[in-house]
């Protein structure tokens, strides 16, 4: 470990050598202003930092570019790190060196940021040992790097809002998103049907095929649902009790149209940036409930330990081949090319994951 710096101190006539453990310098995606992520971010080198007694220095291996990372840099996410800041929020790495009081973690262990927090897009991260969660090294790192934010959100939303039984159904928009892909598979594992709405765009036939292979019962583009009674399309799938919305606008109205009497729509994202419009009759006669979910709030409400257990459960499903999603790995040196893809500059793309 090339992390030691020696300081000599003169104490009562004797020269004693103390070593201060330092991290290597870190290359980081840095921004000092909010704004369009492709213009306000740059890669810089940060100086070594001290590794204190309870700190762990981790050489990062992989970290995704999630929509919320983009919103944080834009300055529109409700909770943001103070400026200047390093981008990224979740990720995994290998322990590089540990402070003198650290037990249970050693160089070479694979760990993830848990709970996720700002600053994942850099080559070396130094944080207190309590921040790191060790995971099974048989897990592909790109999955471990992406398991906390999206798959865990999918799991909580399938489990927490409506008491669903095998044979019930969920309707969701944004079904091609990582959350959407996970909802399909986690529901399928419990025998729950999914009705999936995707946007009209080039490659929508291939997207439908992919989602069907993951276990989707039905997949529609928004324009296919431009019919008088969407429920006439349900065939053998029951009217869904739970709807999941990460798009807003027309795509949210379509979710509401599918819901059964007394159903619940959970909103967890707003990809179209359009508001949700709900008819008066939806409340009075259909008795629909509208709720929201925010993983960050859920984890910080005393659920850090529970989130780690759930992440381990999800990683188990991944290792068993029961949970998969589309990922594209890009080397850190090409960060801005991956960022452009995540910003939608080249049309629909798989989740971009940076490999350090």
Ligand X SMILES: NC(=O)c1ccc[n+]([C@@H]2O[C@H](COP(=O)([O-])OP(=O)(O)OC[C@H]3O[C@@H](n4cnc5c(N)ncnc54)[C@H](OP(=O)(O)O)[C@@H]3O)[C@@H](O)[C@H]2O)c1
Question: In the bound complex, what is the minimum distance in angstroms from residue 79's beta carbon to ligand X?
Answer: 11
Question: In the bound complex, what is the minimum distance in angstroms from residue 315's beta carbon to ligand X?
Answer: 17
Return the number of the residue (22 or 171) whose C-beta is nearest ligand X. Answer: 171
Contact mark string toward ligand X, 254..273, x via CB under 6 A? --------------xx-xx-
CA distance 155 to 184: 10
Using CB under 6 A as the binding rule, whether residue 218 contacts ligand X is answered as no
Decide if 194 contacts 304 (C-beta within 8 A). Answer: no
Contact mark string toward ligand X, 81..120, x via CB under 6 A? ----------------------------------------
Using CB under 6 A as the binding rule, whether residue 344 contacts ligand X is answered as yes
**How many CB atoms are closer than 10 A to CB 225?**
17
Using CB under 6 A as the binding rule, whether residue 68 contacts ligand X is answered as yes
Return the number of the residue (123 or 267) whose C-beta is nearest ligand X. Answer: 267
The CA–CA distances, whole Å, from 204 to 103, 141, 174, 221, 258 equal 50, 29, 12, 8, 21
Using CB under 6 A as the binding rule, whether residue 174 contacts ligand X is answered as yes
* Strands 193-198 vs 169-173: parallel, antiparallel or unpaired: parallel
The catalytic position among 31, 77, 143, 313 is 77
Closest of 191, 239, 247 to residue 221, by C-alpha? 247
Using CB under 6 A as the binding rule, whether residue 353 contacts ligand X is answered as no
What backbone phi and psi angles, to 5 degrees, belong to 203? 85, 10
Q: What DSSP string describes 160-190? A: HSS---TT-EEEEESTTSHHHHHHHHHHHHT
Question: In the bound complex, what is the minimum distance in angstroms from residue 140's beta carbon to ligand X?
Answer: 17
Using CB under 6 A as the binding rule, whether residue 246 contacts ligand X is answered as yes
How many residues bind ligand X (CB under 6 A)? The answer is: 26
Q: On the CB side of 39, how many CA atoms lie within 13 Å of its CA?
A: 5
**Catalytic residue list contains 77:** yes
Question: In the bound complex, what is the minimum distance in angstroms from residue 325's beta carbon to ligand X?
Answer: 8
Question: In the bound complex, what is the minimum distance in angstroms from residue 274's beta carbon to ligand X?
Answer: 8
Q: Residue from 48, 67, 88, 119 that binds ligand X (CB under 6 A)?
A: 67
Distance of alpha carbon 187 from the chain centroid: 18
Contacts (Cβ under 8 Å, ≥6 apart) of 89: 66, 68, 69, 72, 113, 116, 117, 118, 120, 149
Residues that bind ligand X (CB under 6 A): 66-68, 149-150, 153, 174, 176-179, 198-199, 201, 246-247, 268-269, 271-272, 293-295, 344, 348, 351
């Amino acid at each position: 470990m090339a992390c030691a710096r020696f300081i000599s101190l003169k104490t009562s006539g004797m020269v004693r050598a103390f070593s201060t453990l330092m991290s290597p310098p870190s290359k980081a995606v840095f921004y000092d202003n909010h704004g369009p992520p492709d213009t306000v971010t740059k890669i810089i080198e940060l100086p070594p930092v001290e590794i204190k007694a309870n700190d762990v220095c981790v050489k990062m291996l992989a970290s995704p570019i999630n929509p919320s990372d983009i919103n944080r840099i834009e300055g529109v996410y409700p909770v943001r790190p103070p400026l200047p800041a390093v981008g990224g929020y979740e990720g995994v790495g290998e322990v590089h060196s540990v402070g003198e009081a650290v037990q249970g973690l050693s160089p070479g262990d694979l760990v993830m940021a848990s709970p996720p927090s700002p600053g994942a897009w850099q080559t070396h991260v130094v944080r207190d040992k309590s921040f790191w969660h060790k995971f099974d090294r048989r897990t592909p790192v790109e999955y471990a790097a992406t398991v906390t934010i999206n798959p865990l959100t999918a799991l909580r939303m399938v489990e927490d809002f409506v008491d669903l039984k095998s044979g019930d159904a969920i309707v969701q928009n944004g079904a091609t998103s990582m959350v959407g892909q996970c909802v399909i598979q986690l529901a399928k594992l419990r025998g729950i049907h999914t009705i999936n709405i995707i946007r009209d765009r080039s490659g929508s036939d291939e997207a439908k095929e992919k989602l069907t292979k993951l276990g989707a019962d039905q997949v529609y583009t928004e324009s296919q649902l431009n019919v008088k009674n969407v429920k006439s399309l349900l065939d053998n799938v029951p009217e869904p009790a739970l709807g999941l919305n990460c798009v807003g606008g027309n795509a949210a109205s379509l979710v509401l149209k599918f819901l059964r009497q007394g159903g619940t729509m959970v909103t967890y994202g707003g990809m179209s940036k359009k508001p949700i419009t709900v008819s008066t009759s939806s409340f009075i006669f259909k008795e629909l409930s509208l709720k929201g979910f925010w993983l960050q709030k859920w984890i910080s409400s005393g659920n850090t330990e529970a989130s780690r257990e759930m992440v381990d459960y999800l990683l188990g499903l991944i290792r068993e081949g029961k949970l998969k999603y589309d990922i594209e790995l890009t080397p850190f040196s090409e960060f801005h090319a991956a960022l452009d893809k995540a910003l939608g500059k080249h049309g629909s793309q798989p989740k971009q994951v940076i490999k350090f």
